[in-house]
A and B are shown apart, each in its own frame.
Chain A
Amino acid sequence: MSNKTNLVARYSASERINHWLVAITFVMLAFSGLALFHPAFFFLTNLFGGGSWTRILHPFIGVVMFVSFLGLIAKFIGQNHITKADLEWQKHLGDIMANKAKNLPEIGKYNIGQKYLFWSLVVIIPLLMLSGFIIWRPYFALYFPVDIIRVAVLVHAVAAFLAIMTIIVHVYAAIWTKGSIRAMTRGTVTTAWARHHHPAWYKEISRENKL
């Protein structure tokens, strides 16, 4: 992108497609999973063609999400190592949340909240895949003893809860931080956004003349 338009590139088309594949399948998994999680959510089975279809589809969608998520890990892991500046930035979190932050340390492409999101999902999603695999009927559950299935179903429910909470924070952060969503829809952010939220990243891409 040229400076004229005041935009900088943040995500390539393949990164965006990959992100939305994970996002769409995640939402489908959360809805179909919650449907079986508690009677209060059972009505969600209507979105998937009834109870049996919900039960059938959920794990297959899970596999699609897991494979897509591996792609996201490969694409984003390089930028997600936690740095000294991140830890310094974290100390200002209260001010940041209150929209009162000043003189923040210069951070790179991701802030520490985004990095926590990344690493949480790196742990939780394989856990969901593994536990989901163990309780997957009629194909795989029959190969596991009932004690293992009982642990797996509990792990799956708790991990799903954690994943959903993490994603609620993620989605809210994107809504709250104006100018973020276009990064994943259009691939670009404004230079002001980049300088303000991710100054070290902005400097780096300026240096590399990637604007």
Chain B
Amino acid sequence: MALQSLDILRRSATTTPSPGVRQTTEVAKLIDVSKCIGCKACQSACMEWNDIRDEIGSNAGIYDNPRDLSADSWTVMRFSEVEVEKDKLEWLIRKDGCMHCADPGCLKACPAPGAIIQYSNGIVDFHEENCIGCGYCIAGCPFNVPRISKKDNKAYKCTLCSDRVGVGMEPACIKSCPTGALVFGTKEDMIQHAEERIVDLKERGFSNAGLYDPQGVGGTHVMYVLHHADQPELYHGLPKDPSISPMVTLWKGITKPLMSLGIGLGVLVGFFHYIKVGPNEVEEESESEQQ
């Protein structure tokens, strides 16, 4: 989104501060899984607002449709049939998509300056015009979210409707949800709202109900109310304690500046070795000497 952005918290592959004089409040989308009926209105609203149509796929015998997130489908309902208590079938429906992590692995991994932006309101946005299609964001993301388009080799994912939120509107999916399972507001308000919901769920017998706002990634700006917050894996493999993989931290952490320094030092050591001892020459005499 090429809005005049003065509220940039972080920008991929950029080592100096980005324009950040404008302070915005942290926002969050709250997805109350216990209220979701799986109608996919939000999927449709997402397609419409962003004006993107995925290819029509084929029915795989389950409700998940499309089967997976793609460059053209930024949110997908995941249906899981589980028996937490024996003989008591539960149909868990989770709206999947970017979690807008406070500590975004995608942004950390991205080598292209300005291809991934994090705003001070918490939204993590891909700026495709700067994307080079390397796929490092996929390796960096703990939630398996970014997808590279087969059409243009650019990475795409949910923007949390940064273009709408930037002008004071709520995301398109929120507008469309008929049950109130999706709500949007400041992160603080959303946590409070979630707490009320959790009290209600506990009263209804879901003693493990809770909020999913994983601290391993610094918290997220898309949060879930789960009836079984102790077992997030039940919800189509939602990771229990997600964090940026240690491999990625090792790859993108201190090693790179150190290796860059090593390369620079290597060249300098060579140069000064030459300056100190001079070239290794075969003297002319030795030629005649030995002849």
A interface residue numbers (CB < 8 A to B): 6, 34-42, 45, 50-52, 54-55, 96-99, 135, 137-138, 141, 146-147, 149-151, 153-154, 157-158, 161, 164-165, 168-169, 172, 175-179, 190-193, 195-197
B138 touches A146 (CB 8 A): yes
B260 touches A38 (CB 8 A): yes
Please, which residue of chain B has its CB at the minimum distance from the CB of A50? Answer: B132
Contact A138:B260 (CB < 8 A) given known A191-B287, A192-B287, A196-B282: no
A96 to B280, CA, bound (A): 9
Please give, as numbers and ranges, the residues of chain B lying within 8 Å of A37 by CB-CB distance: 111, 256, 259-260
Given contacts A51-B130, A172-B273, A178-B280, 10 further A-B contacts (CB under 8 A): A37-B256, A40-B260, A42-B13, A55-B132, A135-B135, A150-B139, A150-B247, A158-B259, A161-B263, A169-B266
B15 touches A40 (CB 8 A): yes
Contacting A at CB under 8 A, from B241-291, are: 245, 247-248, 250-251, 255-257, 259-260, 262-263, 266-267, 270, 273-274, 277-282, 284, 286-287, 290
Contact A151:B247 (CB < 8 A) given known A161-B263, A169-B266, A192-B286: yes
Please give, as numbers and ranges, the residues of chain A lying within 8 Å of B257 by CB-CB distance: 38
Please give, as numbers and ranges, the residues of chain A lying within 8 Å of B148 by CB-CB distance: 137-138
Contact A157:B138 (CB < 8 A) given known A40-B15, A168-B263, A176-B274: no
CB proximity of B205 to chain A, nearest CB, Å: 37
CB < 8 Å neighbour of A99 from B15, B130, B135, B278: B278
A197 touches B282 (CB 8 A): yes
CB proximity of B147 to chain A, nearest CB, Å: 10
CB < 8 Å neighbour of B260 from A35, A41, A50: A41
CB proximity of A112 to chain B, nearest CB, Å: 15
CB < 8 Å neighbour of A158 from B136, B139, B255, B287: B255
B interface residue numbers (CB < 8 A to A): 13-15, 111-113, 130, 132-136, 138-139, 144, 148, 150, 153, 245, 247-248, 250-251, 255-257, 259-260, 262-263, 266-267, 270, 273-274, 277-282, 284, 286-287, 290
A178 to B284, CA, bound (A): 12
B153 touches A52 (CB 8 A): yes
A54 to B136, CA, bound (A): 14
A89 to B150, CA, bound (A): 56
CB < 8 Å neighbour of B282 from A149, A150, A172, A190: A190
Please give, as numbers and ranges, the residues of chain A lying within 8 Å of B136 by CB-CB distance: 36, 153
Please give, as numbers and ranges, the residues of chain B lying within 8 Å of A138 by CB-CB distance: 133, 135, 148, 150, 153
A42 touches B287 (CB 8 A): no
Please give, as numbers and ranges, the residues of chain B lying within 8 Å of A98 by CB-CB distance: 277
Contact A192:B284 (CB < 8 A) given known A52-B133, A175-B274: yes
A9 to B79, CA, bound (A): 73
A40 to B111, CA, bound (A): 10
Please name 16 pairs of A and B residues whose Cβ atoms are closer than 8 Å in the assembled complex, sorted by A: A36-B132, A38-B256, A38-B260, A51-B130, A98-B277, A99-B280, A153-B139, A157-B251, A168-B263, A168-B270, A175-B274, A176-B274, A179-B281, A190-B282, A196-B286, A197-B282
